[in-house]
Amino acid sequence: MIENQSDNIDIKENDVSNQDNAPEDTSSAEDKIIENDELSSEKKEELNTEELKNTISNNDARLEQLEKEHETLKNQYVRISADFDNFRKRQSRDQDDLKVQLVSKTLTAILPIVDNFERARQQLKPESEEAQALHRSYQGLYKQLVEVLKQQGVAPMRVVGQQFDPNLHEAVLREPSEEFKEDFIVEELQRGYHLEGKVLRHALVKVSMGPGKQNSQEEVEKDTVEESIDSEENTSEDV
């Protein structure tokens, strides 16, 4: 009986000692778990940070590439837009030129009729009442024709007294003139016309050579000077 009691006392003491040691082991295990969790969280944070850096770097590279592609496409668009605008302007200009050429060809064929009307108006001098009535009818037709030409943009040139310009005029004759200086137009032989600011037909003109008397006087003086020089040379040779 005494031995059994002593054994029970030893068992109780062991249980008490085990109970005393148990909390220490539990707390250390919990600390280890917390420490492991902290390490894993730090590793996760490091991994997340690294992944974030890689993602940002990839996004920056992608953004730079997209910006380059955008700039390339923008330049292509600007060039295409400029080419199309030039093409549109060129087409419009070609159409306008073609229209002017067609109109010019038609109007040029009509201008001789206008010339004949003007010649007839200058030559006809109606005296009788019947002739005057016919002349008025003729003048009415002439005015209608001139009005049609105006509506098409045709305008006559005014050349008399103007300086000769080969881009506008065609010189047929040249003669001395006391009234006009040299290279100024003395007379209009055939009227010239503009079409929308361009030459439809050059004017046939007579151009001044300058004052005739002055030219002749200068020639006489020149001849006199040459004769005096010749006479002086002959006199010196005789001496």
- pTM listed for this prediction: 0.53
Domain residue spans of the chain: 72-152, 155-239
Using 50, 70 and 90 to split pLDDT, how confident is the model at 156? very high
CA distance 203 to 190: 6
Distance CA 111, CA 191 (A): 9
Tokens of 50: 């690294």
Look up residue 127 and give its two tokens: 């005296």
Q: Hey, what are 43's tokens?
A: 């590793």
Segment 217-225 shows an average pLDDT of 49
- Name the band, by pLDDT with cuts 50, 70 and 90, for residue 39: low
Question: For the segment 94-138, what is each residue's pLDDT rounded down to a tens digit?
Answer: 888 888 788 888 888 889 988 888 888 777 777 777 777 877 888
Q: Which fold has domain 155-239?
A: Nucleotide Exchange Factor Grpe; Chain A, domain 2 (2.30.22)
Cα–Cα distances in angstroms (integers) from residue 189 to residues 15, 85, 179, 199, 220, in the given order:
147, 46, 18, 17, 33
- Collect all residues with Cβ–Cβ distance below 8 Å to 126 and sequence separation of at least 6: 132, 134, 135
**What is the reported pLDDT for 58?**
85
Three-class HEC string of 2-60: HHHHHHHHHHHHHHHHHHHHHHHHHHHHHHHHHHHHHHHHHHHHHHHHHHHHHHHHHHH
Alpha carbon separation from 239 to 18, 39, 229 (Å, rounded): 168, 138, 16
Give per-residue pLDDT as tens, 160-195.
999 999 999 999 999 998 888 899 999 999 999 998
Strands 193-195 and 198-201: antiparallel
